[in-house]
Structure 1
């Protein structure tokens, strides 16, 4: 594996760990304010999917060359990820947490789409394997992600009254 591949995978691994910590902090704060979690039964599968995706990339991520076009797309997706997290602030979690009486967020990327975070994740799961020349990994994990998101988005929309 090339140094570039290792650097990219280290970045994504550290990013995901930091996001889980941020999510746990935000979840605790929201629950303390009277929020409730919706449809938690699918959450372990979501975590398993993302952990497996990352593990497969660590195992099969090839050496040089890194494919530049997918890498540029992945970097752009990271900007989208930061925008979503910044827009939601304390309300951003990896779980479906509903704070009764709070209005829906309609600023930032939420002005245009209901679930911009899921669009970012769909892109990441498809694009990062392509950075390493792994289209099969992109296809398999995109299909698995689609199955989980179908359940998650339905539950989230129901909880948000959509």
Structure 2
């Protein structure tokens, strides 16, 4: 295993696991405040996609040389990730949790309707490119587009019902 690939893959795994811990904590807190989960049936598909993506990166990229240009793009994306997490604060989760409060309208949410999904689209493509895995970027970008079509439709429907009430 190349050191660069090992460090990059280790970062991705630790980041994703940390996000799951944060999301679980935020979800519990929001539900305790009276929020409700909407359209949970596709969540397992999201988890499976991300696990398979990480698995493909590890399996096929463990001995790859890190591509510095793509790594720089990935680092910039992590700045965007922090901006999104900071903007949503305790409302950031990996599930669709609806709270009867105004939507977040600060940070990147002032400019883009779904910045977190845009970020995930970019990461699903860029992380494999860091390891020179163009085909992994293409395949998982296509699969992710299908999953996000389901996810965004469900979230938009949930938010419409929130605005109507």
Fold match (TM-score > 0.5):
yes
**Cα shift at 1:155:** 0.7
Runs of 4+ in 1 over 4 A off after TM superposition: none
Q: Deviations over 1:63-119 (max 9, x none)?
A: 35311111111111111111101110010000000002x001110000000110011
Q: Deviations over 1:42-61 (max 9, x none)?
A: 00000000011001101100
1:43 matched to 2:43? The reply is yes
Provide the rounded CA distance (Å) in 2 between the counterparts of 1:98 and 1:85.
17
1:144 matched to 2:116? The reply is no
| Conserved 8 A contact 2:6-2:62 | no
| Conserved 8 A contact 1:57-1:129 | yes
Partner of 1:29: 29
The DSSP-based 3-state class of the residue aligned with 2:105 is coil
Q: Mark the runs of 5 or more structure 1 residues left unpaired by the alignment.
A: none
The DSSP-based 3-state class of the residue aligned with 1:77 is helix
Partner of 1:154: 153
- Count of matched residue positions in the alignment of Structure 1 and Structure 2: 161
Quote the RMSD (CA, aligned, Å): 1.0
Provide the rounded CA distance (Å) in 2 between the counterparts of 1:39 and 1:58.
31
Partner of 1:105: 104
TM-score by length of 2: 0.95
**Cα shift at 1:62:** 4.8
Provide the rounded CA distance (Å) in 2 between the counterparts of 1:147 and 1:90.
28
